[in-house]
Structure 1
Amino acid sequence: MINEDTIVALATPSGAGAIAVIRLSGPKAISIADNSFRSIRKGKTLSSQKTHTIHLGHILDGERTIDEVLVSIFKNPNSYTGENVVEISCHGSNYIQQEIIQLFLRKGCRMATAGEFTLRAFLNGKLDLSQAEAVADLISSDNEASHQIAMQQMRGGFSSEIAKLREELLNFASLIELELDFAEEDVEFADRTQFKALVERITFVLKRLIDSFAVGNVIKNGIPVAIVGEPNVGKSTLLNALLNEERAIVSEIAGTTRDTIEDEISIGGIGFRFIDTAGIRETTDVVESIGIKKTFEKIDQAQVVVFLADSSNFKETSFLKSFRIEVEKVKNKYPLKPLLIVANKVDKLNDNQIGVVESEIPNIHLLSAKSGTGVEELKDKLLSFVNTGALRNNDTIVTNSRHYDSLLKAFEEIDHVKNGLESGISGDLLAIDIRQALYFFGEITGEITNDDLLGNIFANFCIGK
């Protein structure tokens, strides 16, 4: 897939700004840039400069000056892509950006495709495949946790762990393959006791990585939280309090929210996407009925449900009984979803009434969304649903579904190897399962790949990266 083209693209977001960075990569990157660059120092050429240097001058189209720029030079192999790379920092006018890019296209560059700079870095051995994918994750990270995981993976934390296991397994695979060459002598080069210990260790590591995907997926994509309850219990006020902004319309009129409203915040470095839903009640209003139907759809999609009630209603004993019944209905309908029972407007209760509510409904969380009392404690409870222990310990966490799929397949093949060792099957059958496990390990880091896989991965990158 490596070709001799020199590619060009805008490396900063499109649109006007203070500055923009235009990136070139390929064998002719420096000479093409040099052809249109005039240094402020007379007679200075880019081709004669050292790598990792920056130069001030002008980009010219013939005798016409397009812009005053800073040009950074990175000579192969000491660059991001492993090729000659030039980065031009120009003024952020859309017109200037396009004029410079069009100039370089006329000089022999072609436009880069999505993720082509990082693809070239992978093909030239500057990154393995899991590190390359982490680049995209780093760009899209929008909270502390996802940023931390992407940085660890980009530094090679995950791939080095996989590579170590693969190397050890490969050593034993070589010894077993060697045994097949001496099948008539009936000798064993691979110590079966040591091999069993290795397989046990690989099984343990794979299981830990597979289990980490549950946390990793949550960290990468955020946790959807549905705020549900009857009309006018303060769902929109709670959403505004959680987001610390007036995101939803608040009114004393019941049924104000007729559609779902969503927004996301970071709590403890984890993204939570809150969904304010239409109040659940019997209604003849067609529009409100559609909103209530959407509420149940959002509960289906949510990972956590916050069931909100109006504290002032708890003054009535009959309401307490009916509320407990409603809570049980939600629990029975969604038995696998964490349910937080929250009573709003706690400022309307006295101490005795609060005591009754807490005794009648265990684990209820009392707050006042209007004043902010209890809102931070609610955030802490939501965070408790995420197992952040692995994150705090800086353990490897899997966030990529492709890696997860390959790990599951590798785990299955290692399990076959384990069963084969225990039952004493022949070396040729063991070798088949080991080869398959090695294949799936190689898929993760990119030792084994194909054009379709690479096309799918890098198509998700932005152009310019």
Structure 2
Amino acid sequence: MTHTDTIVALATPAGAGAIAIIRLSGEQALDIASSVFVSVSGKKLSQQKTHTIHLGHIKDGDRVVDEVLASVFKNPNSYTGEDVVEFSCHGSNYIQQEIIQLCLRKGARMAQAGEFTLRAFLNGKMDLSQAEAVADLIASDSEASHQLAIQQMRGGFSSEIKALREQLLNFASLIELELDFAEEDVEFANRDEFQALISKITHVLKRLIDSFATGNVLKNGIPVAIVGEPNVGKSTLLNALLNEERAIVSDIAGTTRDTIEDEITIGGVGFRFIDTAGIRETTDTIEGLGIQKTFQKMEQAQVVIYLFDATVISNGGEKSQSVLQEIEKVKNKFPQKTLVVIANKVDTLSEEEIKKLQVSLSAVEGSQTISLSAKTGQGVETLKNTLLNFVNTGALRNNETIVTNSRHYDALLKALEEIQKVQAGIDANLSGDLLAIDIRQALYHFGEITGEISNDDLLGNIFANFCIGK
């Protein structure tokens, strides 16, 4: 792949639609566009001002292909930093391919995945973390994931990393300078200021690393496993949450034999609900496999909802104790999971039975307890609000930097490790040449995030995940 030729691609989703946008970028973009576009004004596109739109026709010789709008963006004031022309044409598959093939015959080549954004990075229009945020923005399907991508694309994360790197680089330069005057035993880098900087960098790195746990679930959606014994209303609850008949509901215990998943957005945050097979002793091989998968999904979930039949506890007795014991087993097996204990079918209870139920639920410690009726919808909104409260959206609302990219997370961990080595060196009163080795490594990992240090393999892996035309 070279980055001096002119590329073309469909910038809108494939398929027929009202309109489609075909994008050209490169040194010959204006010339190629001018050779196929005839403006109603009679002027060539290459003679038009940047950031202007022109009505005309795409022509293949004397044959009119379509009536289009041509948008002109001249370098360096374009998305890629090159000359860019975009044709807004009618959304027929035939028209799209005719225009693209015409541009190819005039000297353009087909763009590869993410190549327009890659050129924007190579031409200094954005750094690497901002370029990655473009893909996240396209993939965002909730308010939270959209806000995270917008924040990163606007440079919130990269500017914080660049500031730290610049400060560390200044001290690294002073320490390197000391090595040139080792015989004079001079000290250019103030050790107190250097210690303060290392402490600051350590604090910021730990905060960013800790934010990944929140950022990852906000970006990808929070997995919630709905578990419990058979026939307690797990599938009914899933249907109530989704407000549609997603799961089959029947009075026959063991109806759900595999997991059923679907997503909804609550308060701008995506949740992925997983309806699982009922947990019980069974000789049915298929149902047994479903129960095994239930435990796998509980392991993967961020939140576990344990659902039970409220009538069982309200009646007391041995079965009531059995339910409480099962709740304790789940808590002990997954101590790090957020557990929500739900008493279902409260619409069937009398006031006296509800009082007994509340007394029993008070014995469940360390978990949120909710009473609801999945059948009537009573208490479902309370459950949604409870789930939303588990998500740390405060940092998002306050526009704090939240890490969502696993590559950035890995680089931050490595940078922190090197900074901790620098701190250990300061504590041990090591010489500047030894400190400089670890500082250089920390700077390397900072540079990996923003793309100041990159290689073809890294860029290939990142931009391969983009769509064609972006």
Q: TM-score range by the shorter chain?
A: over 0.9
Q: Matches of 1:373 and 1:288 in 2, distance apart?
A: 30
The residue aligned with 1:154 is 153
The residue aligned with 1:397 is 402
The residue aligned with 2:18 is 18
The residue aligned with 2:216 is 217
| Count of aligned residue pairs for this structure pair | 464
Q: Matches of 2:312 and 2:92 in 1, distance apart?
A: 59
The residue aligned with 1:332 is 332
Note the alpha carbon deviations across 1:51-72, whole angstroms, 9 max, x for none: 0000111101111111110010
The residue aligned with 2:365 is none
The residue aligned with 1:271 is 270
The residue aligned with 2:256 is 257
- Structure 1 window deviating more from structure 2 (284-293 vs 29-38): it is 284-293
The residue aligned with 1:144 is 143
Letter in 2 for 1:158: F
Q: Matches of 2:160 and 2:328 in 1, distance apart?
A: 45
1:55 and 2:60 matched = no
Q: Matches of 1:290 and 1:167 in 2, distance apart?
A: 55
Compute the RMSD of aligned alpha carbons. 1.2
1:427 equivalent among 429, 432, 435: 432
Q: Matches of 2:388 and 2:446 in 1, distance apart?
A: 33
The residue aligned with 1:300 is 299
Q: Matches of 2:277 and 2:136 in 1, distance apart?
A: 34
1:228 and 2:227 matched = yes
2:313–2:360 contact (8 Å) kept in structure 1: no
The residue aligned with 1:167 is 166
The residue aligned with 2:32 is 32
Letter in 2 for 1:354: I
Secondary structure of the equivalent of 1:149? Answer: helix
Note the alpha carbon deviations across 1:146-189, whole angstroms, 9 max, x for none: 11111011000100011111111111111111111111110001
Letter in 1 for 2:461: N
1:2–1:120 contact (8 Å) kept in structure 2: no
- Structure 1 window deviating more from structure 2 (374-383 vs 113-122): it is 374-383
**How many angstroms does 1:399 deviate by?**
0.3
Letter in 1 for 2:405: N
Query: Equivalent pairs: percent with the same residue?
Result: 75
Secondary structure of the equivalent of 1:384? Answer: helix
**How many angstroms does 1:234 deviate by?**
1.0
Alignment of 1:9-408 (within 5 A): 9-41=9-41, 43-318=42-317, 319-362=319-362, 363-408=368-413
- Segments ≥4 residues shifted beyond 4 Å: none
Secondary structure of the equivalent of 1:237? Answer: helix
Note the alpha carbon deviations across 1:326-356, whole angstroms, 9 max, x for none: 1112222222222111011111112221221
1:259–1:294 contact (8 Å) kept in structure 2: yes
Q: Matches of 1:266 and 1:198 in 2, distance apart?
A: 41
Letter in 1 for 2:371: L
1:239–1:276 contact (8 Å) kept in structure 2: yes
**How many angstroms does 1:449 deviate by?**
0.5
Where structure 1 has 5 or more consecutive residues not aligned to the other structure, the ranges are none
Secondary structure of the equivalent of 2:281? Answer: coil
Secondary structure of the equivalent of 2:45? Answer: coil
The residue aligned with 2:417 is 412
1:461 and 2:460 matched = no
Note the alpha carbon deviations across 1:351-405, whole angstroms, 9 max, x for none: 2212211222234210011111111111121122222221121100000011011
- Structure 1 window deviating more from structure 2 (94-103 vs 252-261): it is 252-261
Secondary structure of the equivalent of 1:255? Answer: coil
**How many angstroms does 1:315 deviate by?**
3.4
Letter in 2 for 1:232: N
- Structure 1 window deviating more from structure 2 (150-159 vs 349-358): it is 349-358
Q: Matches of 2:162 and 2:389 in 1, distance apart?
A: 33
Letter in 2 for 1:34: S
**How many angstroms does 1:2 deviate by?**
5.7
The residue aligned with 1:6 is 6
Q: Matches of 2:3 and 2:382 in 1, distance apart?
A: 57
Structure 2 length as normaliser, TM-score? 0.97
Secondary structure of the equivalent of 1:415? Answer: helix
Structure 1 length as normaliser, TM-score? 0.98
Letter in 2 for 1:320: S
1:2–1:123 contact (8 Å) kept in structure 2: no
1:58–1:68 contact (8 Å) kept in structure 2: yes
Letter in 1 for 2:84: V
Q: Matches of 1:289 and 1:444 in 2, distance apart?
A: 46
